[in-house]
Amino acid sequence: MNQNPQSSEGRPDDDTALSDFLASLMDYTPTIPDELVEHYLAKSGFQCPDVRLTRLVAVATQKFVAEVAGDALQHCKARQATIPKDKRDKQQKDKRLVLTMEDLSKALREYGVNLRHQEYFADSPSTGTDPATREE
Helices (H), the chain: 11-27, 34-43, 51-81, 85-92, 101-109
Does residue 2 carry a pLDDT above 50? no
* pLDDT score recorded for residue 127: 54
Does residue 19 carry a pLDDT above 80? yes
* pLDDT score recorded for residue 90: 61
Question: For the whole model, what pTM was predicted?
Answer: 0.67
CA-CA distance, 30 to 28, in Å (whole number)?
6
Q: Specify if 19 maps to a domain.
A: no
Q: Specify if 72 maps to a domain.
A: yes
* Model pLDDT for residues 57-114, shown as the tens digit of each residue: 999 999 999 999 999 999 998 988 887 766 656 666 667 888 888 899 999 999 999 8
CATH number of the domain that 69 lies in? 1.10.20
Residue 49 belongs to domain spanning: 27-111
* Model pLDDT for residues 105-121, shown as the tens digit of each residue: 999 999 999 887 676 65
